[in-house]
Chain A
Amino acid sequence: MESISIEGTPKTPTVEFNSNNGKIEIKGRSIPENSIEFYKPLVDWLDEYAASPKENTEVNIQLEYFNTSSSKCILDVFKKLEVIHKDGHSVNINWFFEEDDEDMLEAGEDYQSIIKIPFKMIEIEEE
C-alpha cells in the first residue's frame, strides 16, 4: 500500500503515514473548519494498514494547536490504532508537548484515558 505524505499549512498538520516502516506522524496545527474532510483519508488508510500492519507501529503526535472538530478526528485515528493493538500488534503513541503547555499535556492525558494503547508523554523544549 502507498504511504501518505502531506505538507502542513497554517490550518492543517504535516502528515507522514509510512506503510514501509510503520511510522505515523501528525505534526503542527490542526484547525481546519472541516476536519472530517482532512482526516477521512487518514482514517481510511489506517483501515487498510490494519489488515497487515508492521510488527511495530510508532505514532508521533506533535501538535501546537488543534480545534475541537480535529479532537474528535484524532480520536478516530487512535481508535483505528487501538484495533491494531487489540489484534496483538505493537503500537506505541508518543504525545509531544512543549514545556509548560499544560493544556496540551492534559489533552494527551484525556486521550490516554479513553484509548487503551501505551502512551508516552514527551516534553520538548520551546522552539
Chain B
Amino acid sequence: MAFDFEEWYNNLTKYDTIFKYSGEITSEIVTKTLDDAEAILFEYGLDKKKVKRAYNATVEALQNLFHHSITKPDGEQYNKFGAFCFRLHHDNLDIITGNYVMFDIVPILRDRMNQINLLDEDEVKELYKKILSNEEFSDKGGGGLGMVDIAKRTGSKLQYAFFEFDEKYSFFELKVNV
C-alpha cells in the first residue's frame, strides 16, 4: 500500500510528543520553528548541555529539510514540504524529521547513512574534520556535513526509514536521539 503521510504523522505524534510541525518549509518557518523548539526544550527542564546538543541537531535537521525537501506529491502544493517533531520520554529526546525524496536518491542516502553508522564516535569526529577541510560546497550550499554533524553532536546512530509512495517518490524518516 502506498505511503500515507497523515497516517504516518498521526502515529508519530501520538505519544510523548512535546513539539511538532508539518507543512511548508521556508526560511521564515525554519527560523520560527527553531525559536519555538528552543523555548520548548528549556520549558521541559532539560539541562543546558542537552538543550545545546538538541538545538544544534535541530538546526541541521531543519536546514536539511530546507535544502532537500520537495513538494508533497498529493495534497498541499508547497514547493517544499516537511514534518518535524520532538518526542520526550523521561530524559530521552528523539528528534524526528520526515520529507519526500525522489525515489532514485534513496540508495545514495541509505549508503551515506550506513557508512556514518558504521563509525564509532572518534571516527565520526575524524570524518567531520576531513570533510570540513576538504569537501567543496554542494550546489545547494550545504557542505555535505549535515548528517555527519548530527551524528557527531548527538553521539546517536542515524535511525532512518524509507517508505515507498509510488514509482517516483519515497518518504524519508530520520530519527536521532539526544
Contact = CB atoms under 8 A, between A and B. Distances in A.
A114 B132 contact: yes
Contacts of B63: 31, 33, 67, 69
Interface in B126-170: 128-129, 132-133, 137, 141-143, 145-146, 149, 153
Given A33-B66, A36-B137, A71 B49 contact: no
A5 B63 CA distance: 27
A68 B146 contact: yes
A11 B143 contact: no
Contacts of A36: 137, 141
Contacts of B90: none
A35 B145 contact: no
Interface in A65-118: 65, 67-69, 71-72, 75, 100-101, 103, 106, 110, 113-114
Nearest to A9: B31
Interface residues of A, number: 22
Main secondary structure of the interface of A (DSSP, over half): helix
A64 to B, nearest CB: 9
B132 A10 contact: no
Nearest to B144: A68
A33 B52 contact: no
B49 A33 contact: no
A80 to B, nearest CB: 15
Contacts of B142: 68-69
Given A65-B55, A110-B132, A126 B141 contact: no
B17 interface: no
A20 interface: no
Interface in A25-56: 31, 33-36
B37 to A, nearest CB: 12
Contact of A71 (B31, B53, B67, B143): B143
Which has the most chain B C-beta neighbours within 10 Å: A36, A68, A126? A68
A103 to B, nearest CB: 6
Nearest to B143: A72
A114 B59 CA distance: 25
Contacts of A75: 132-133
Given A68-B146, A114-B133, 8 more contacts: A31-B63, A33-B141, A34-B141, A67-B59, A68-B143, A68-B145, A72-B143, A75-B132
Interface of A: 10-11, 31, 33-36, 65, 67-69, 71-72, 75, 100-101, 103, 106, 110, 113-114, 126
